[in-house]
């Protein structure tokens, strides 16, 4: 609820869920979570979710900068394992608690309690979510809110602080989704299932707006943004934004808040909520028709928002002016043995059986493909704008090994899918780092001219960035966090279908691994831990 004149900070994440920020004192934030299946019906359709302590989204983690968060996670699923990723937390010094099954840890078995313990070193609003199979889609996610320490204030003011998670919601189980995606008789997760009388949502890219109220964007992915005003905010899976809203409209009524799918033509109905002016009843419908939101295929407006996002003056992290290595990643849709897959440079990613972090630290080189993945594609001859005749690709679990402390540029190059005149939006998320967003462009990236246009002055740092249809996005990061880090499209089904890579850096500087992350693949069984 808002009173006229109030300023509101909205933290956006990818059911409408409100949480108050009660940042308590103390340096260790201890949470005890039980993960299990429960029946829920948030949209009046009763289905199983994977809940934390009976809730989806799970409990919000509240901490202050430099606190240690400790989550004791008990897996009370009957036959399923689990793993949780702390999205946006860089895990400096604790790469083993990144929660990425197959990359940094073995899954947590039914009946097991696993303790995640890590420092939240930067204020901001972040996410946590399952990083195993497609369990995130089953409702296993929530918020992490890291407050500034006492005495430090944000470079903007507000009266109230509310958080909203925008999330895909499917009626099918994750098992059904994954089976459909991996079947020869391919079925996409996101299309309405008329025969089941259910309506699934495919919300990779969304717009959010509040009727009659502009929003001032002030923060994204834990970094302050040079403020700019939007009527609607475009947001991609894995991103977080903070916006300021001034409650300066007619207080005798409520207003619609609307979210709608953009970047793909969708029959999913728009998500609606009510922006409430006190003392109106919070459920009193506004007297207006909800705004329709922007049209789905207005790519220029989306690109314009991306270009408007720059680091706030006084909070700029200057980027290195040059890089040591450039990796170009062509994003394509392919077929392997009849299965629909996504690929990077014609290599479709699959997870190894023994997590890389353990394999590399303990020199179990045989557990994954040692051939490095390609640094690029056939720039000269590949036409990104057309449907390809040859849609074949290979599968691999090979990884990019980066020189420690080197500066790495990654160019994400989008292309046409296997369907003519179609290219999708992919939000790429990097674990363990923030990166600088150096530039965006349309068409094929030009290795000679496009780097000249990079923003070397005030690029924003993020952990997730979108690559637009038929476009490219350039990012730069310093490989200074010893560990093994996934970098992948944050659309759950795309990563499952191979749209990801893995970086190793400074493995020799990784400390002794906790045995709790072991127990699968080549690290299975055999030792007895007597109490």
CB nearer a copy of itself, residue 180 or residue 320:
180
- Dihedral pair phi/psi, residue 496, rounded to 5°: -60, -30
For the bound state, the minimum distance from the C-beta of residue 117 to a copy of itself, rounded and expressed in Å, comes to 17
Structure tokens of 219? Answer: 């923060």
* The only residue of 272, 326, 364, 391 in contact with a copy of itself, by rule CB under 8 A: 364
Site for a copy of itself in 376-405 (CB under 8 A): none
* The only residue of 180, 294, 320, 376 in contact with a copy of itself, by rule CB under 8 A: 180
For the bound state, the minimum distance from the C-beta of residue 183 to a copy of itself, rounded and expressed in Å, comes to 7
Q: Does 269 bind a copy of itself (CB under 8 A)?
A: no
Is residue 11 a contact partner of residue 17, using CB atoms and an 8 Å limit? Answer: no
CB nearer a copy of itself, residue 132 or residue 241:
132
For the bound state, the minimum distance from the C-beta of residue 109 to a copy of itself, rounded and expressed in Å, comes to 5
For the bound state, the minimum distance from the C-beta of residue 346 to a copy of itself, rounded and expressed in Å, comes to 24
* The only residue of 70, 109, 272, 456 in contact with a copy of itself, by rule CB under 8 A: 109
Question: How many CB atoms lie under 10 A from the CB of residue 18?
Answer: 10
Is residue 70 a contact partner of residue 27, using CB atoms and an 8 Å limit? Answer: no
- Dihedral pair phi/psi, residue 277, rounded to 5°: -95, 120
* The only residue of 125, 135, 276, 343 in contact with a copy of itself, by rule CB under 8 A: 135
Site for a copy of itself in 460-519 (CB under 8 A): 515-519
CB nearer a copy of itself, residue 174 or residue 473:
174
**Total residues contacting a copy of itself (rule CB under 8 A)?**
49
Q: Does 336 bind a copy of itself (CB under 8 A)?
A: no
Q: Does 48 bind a copy of itself (CB under 8 A)?
A: yes
Q: Does 132 bind a copy of itself (CB under 8 A)?
A: yes
CB nearer a copy of itself, residue 75 or residue 260:
75
| Dist CA 298 CA 262 (whole Å) | 8
| Dist CA 278 CA 387 (whole Å) | 54
CB nearer a copy of itself, residue 279 or residue 525:
525
Q: Does 327 bind a copy of itself (CB under 8 A)?
A: no
With contacts defined by CB under 8 A, name the span among 12-20, 154-162, 430-438, 522-530 that binds a copy of itself.
522-530
Structure tokens of 160? Answer: 């109230």
- DSSP assignment of 338-402, as one string? TEEEEEETTEEE---SS-HHHHHHTT-GGGS--SPPPS---TTT--TTS--S--B-EEE---EEE
Q: Does 39 bind a copy of itself (CB under 8 A)?
A: yes
Burial of 324 (0-12, 13-18, 19+ CB in 10 A): middle
Residues 6 or more apart whose CB falls under 8 angstroms from that of 55 comprise none
| Dist CA 488 CA 332 (whole Å) | 13
Q: Does 133 bind a copy of itself (CB under 8 A)?
A: yes
| Dist CA 321 CA 472 (whole Å) | 20
- DSSP assignment of 384-426, as one string? TTS--S--B-EEE---EEEPTT-EEEEEEE----SSTT----E
For the bound state, the minimum distance from the C-beta of residue 184 to a copy of itself, rounded and expressed in Å, comes to 11
Q: Does 525 bind a copy of itself (CB under 8 A)?
A: yes
351: nearest Cα among 506, 479, 499: 499
Strand 28-40 and strand 347-349: the pairing is unpaired
For the bound state, the minimum distance from the C-beta of residue 58 to a copy of itself, rounded and expressed in Å, comes to 17
Q: Does 175 bind a copy of itself (CB under 8 A)?
A: yes
Binding mask 65-104 for a copy of itself (x = CB under 8 A): -------------xxxxx----------------------
- Dihedral pair phi/psi, residue 117, rounded to 5°: -145, 120
3-state secondary structure of 174: helix
Query: If residue 208 lies in a helix (H) or strand (E), which one and from where to where?
Result: strand 205-210
Q: Does 106 bind a copy of itself (CB under 8 A)?
A: yes
CB nearer a copy of itself, residue 1 or residue 364:
364
* The only residue of 176, 226, 324, 458 in contact with a copy of itself, by rule CB under 8 A: 176
Is residue 434 a contact partner of residue 90, using CB atoms and an 8 Å limit? Answer: yes
* The only residue of 31, 37, 382, 404 in contact with a copy of itself, by rule CB under 8 A: 37
For the bound state, the minimum distance from the C-beta of residue 200 to a copy of itself, rounded and expressed in Å, comes to 16
Q: Does 366 bind a copy of itself (CB under 8 A)?
A: yes
For residue 90, CA distances in Å to 165, 245, 272, 358, 497 come to 21, 30, 34, 19, 25
With contacts defined by CB under 8 A, name the span among 105-113, 248-256, 309-317, 322-330 that binds a copy of itself.
105-113
Instruction: List residues binding a copy of itself (CB under 8 A).
Output: 37-39, 48, 78-82, 106-107, 109-112, 132-135, 173-176, 178-180, 183, 185, 353, 362, 364, 366, 515-531
């Amino acid at each position: 609820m808002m009173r006229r004149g109030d300023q509101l900070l909205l933290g956006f994440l990818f059911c409408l869920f409100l949480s108050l920020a009660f940042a308590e004192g103390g340096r260790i934030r201890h949470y005890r979570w039980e993960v299990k299946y429960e029946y829920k019906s948030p949209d009046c359709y009763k289905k199983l979710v994977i809940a934390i302590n009976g809730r989806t989204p799970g409990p919000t983690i509240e901490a202050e900068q430099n606190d240690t968060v400790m989550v004791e996670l008990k897996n009370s699923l009957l036959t399923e394992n689990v793993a949780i990723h702390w999205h946006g937390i860089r895990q400096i010094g604790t790469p083993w608690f990144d929660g990425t099954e197959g990359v940094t840890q073995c899954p947590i078995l039914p009946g097991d309690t696993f303790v995640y313990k890590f420092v939240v070193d930067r204020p901001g609003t972040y996410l946590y979510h399952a990083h195993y199979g497609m369990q995130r889609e089953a409702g296993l996610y929530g918020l992490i809110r890291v407050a500034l320490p006492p005495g430090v204030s944000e470079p903007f003011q507000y009266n109230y602080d509310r958080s909203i998670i925008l999330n895909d919601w499917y009626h099918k189980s994750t098992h059904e989704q994954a089976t459909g995606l991996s079947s020869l008789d391919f079925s996409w997760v996101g299309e309405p299932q008329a025969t089941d009388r259910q309506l699934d949502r495919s919300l990779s890219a969304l717009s959010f707006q509040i009727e009659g109220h502009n929003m001032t964007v002030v923060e994204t992915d834990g970094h302050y943004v040079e403020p700019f005003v939007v009527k609607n905010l475009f947001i991609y899976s894995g991103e977080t934004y903070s916006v300021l809203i001034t409650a300066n409209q007619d207080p005798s009524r409520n207003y619609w808040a609307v979210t709608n799918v953009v970047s793909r033509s969708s029959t999913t109905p728009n998500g609606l909520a009510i922006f409430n002016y006190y003392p109106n009843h919070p459920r009193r419908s506004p007297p207006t028709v909800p705004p329709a939101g922007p049209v789905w295929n207005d790519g220029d407006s989306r690109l314009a928002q991306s270009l408007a996002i720059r680091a706030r003056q006084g909070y700029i992290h200057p980027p290195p002016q040059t890089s040591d290595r450039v990796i170009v990643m062509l994003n394509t849709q392919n077929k392997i043995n009849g299965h629909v897959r996504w690929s990077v440079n014609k290599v479709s990613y699959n997870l190894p059986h023994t997590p890389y972090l353990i394999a590399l630290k303990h020199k179990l080189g045989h557990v994954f493909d040692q051939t490095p993945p390609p640094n690029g594609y056939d720039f000269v001859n590949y036409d990104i704008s057309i449907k390809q005749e040859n849609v074949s690709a290979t599968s691999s679990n090979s990884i990019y090994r980066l020189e420690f402390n080197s500066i790495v540029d990654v160019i994400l190059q989008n292309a046409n899918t296997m369907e003519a005149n179609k290219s999708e939006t992919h939000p790429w998320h990097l674990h363990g780092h923030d990166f600088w967003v150096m530039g965006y462009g349309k068409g094929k990236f030009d290795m000679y001219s496009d780097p000249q246009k990079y923003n070397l002055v005030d690029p924003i740092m993020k952990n997730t960035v979108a690559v637009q249809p038929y476009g490219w996005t350039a990012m730069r990061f310093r490989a200074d966090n010893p560990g093994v880090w996934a970098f992948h499209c944050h659309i759950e089904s795309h990563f499952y279908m191979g749209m990801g890579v893995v970086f190793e850096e400074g493995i020799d500087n990784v400390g002794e691994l906790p045995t709790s992350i072991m127990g699968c693949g080549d690290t299975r069984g055999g030792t007895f831990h007597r109490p």
